[in-house]
Amino acid sequence: MHEVPAPDGFAAAWDRVLTHPSRTSGDALLDVLEAWVGHLQPADDSLSQFIRDNELAWLHGTIPPEFW
């Protein structure tokens, strides 16, 4: 399996969310992620993707993709 390196600034933004959880630190983390994958998935599609991957798995008693 091919590993994809984390985007620049991800580790620092992630650490900031863990040490200082707030709307500001969360938004900064999302900004890093959306800048990295924005060309693959527009921000408006993120909620739909979450629902497909997580809530439907919960509803049907299956495992979400991130646990495969």
pLDDT value of position 1: 59
Q: Please enumerate in sequence order all residues whose Cβ is within 8 A of that of 15, keeping only pairs 6 or more positions apart, or say none.
A: none
Per-residue tokens: 67: 């646990």
Mean pLDDT of the 8-33 span:
94
Mean pLDDT of the 10-28 span:
95
Give the alpha-carbon dihedral of 42, 67, 6, 2, to 10 degrees.
-100
pLDDT range class, residue 27, cuts 50, 70, 90: very high
Entry pTM: 0.57
